[in-house]
Structure 1
């Protein structure tokens, strides 16, 4: 984590804002973040998107009060917007980890399709993707802050979310 955060100079009260009525999605994200230091996260928003795009996300990094200051005037801000008008399933092309034995890590970064069966999966993936950018930038995970890694991370969280949802009694979904 950053030196200034270790010294406790800045802290924000994390707020979750849900404008599309998906408390189960934000609850899942909140539970995943309990393992990490979120003192510099100002807010996480889940918003509707009414354009032709399926999704849009953004992770804004903290802004210091002045250069090299230990205090911040703005914390991390994570926003995910998902299209509430398009019908599922959703397919989205973006950077991903493409398996290949030609690379020492076993994959290379390239364009690939991501498929979501419903809006919940799309929202979880988009939020998890932005959470990865926060976690990587704040040095809480060891992976490089790339789009391919963010989508790989988001795929893992989405699979866990799907498993959690399938474990619920049918009346609880």
Structure 2
């Protein structure tokens, strides 16, 4: 019989979590780019991009909840909504970076566009990691305390209750 503490996944350290964030987020992003291209051969590109973006955000949030941040077996609806918000903010950062580039240069080269886009993506990714770790998948003290309380064996709780009831004298009623 497993305790609640052994069933709950422990939260990994910052470096491990960031490495997993890059692996899972990058893997989903790479797969998404191929999926958008494939789906766009059947339907309008904008619709394909929207559908794949929604699906990939849901998938990445589940992976981050389970493996990146050790938040439990499933992401909650609140976590999905917050993760989608952070993904939208990251999208906005990369879009603004590209708009600013276009305002500064009439015809930037492909290499410069890639440098600007990837730099903005990296910056947004680091910020998104921080938001997911500190806000979305953070464990509050009350959650940790509840897990510890739930993980205590019954005999320890019973012994503590008996000890607080006062001394028991064997052989006579108190």
Fold equivalence (TM over 0.5)? no
The structure number with the bigger radius of gyration is 2
| TM-score after normalising by structure 2 | 0.33
| TM-score after normalising by structure 1 | 0.33
Q: Which has the higher strand share?
A: 1
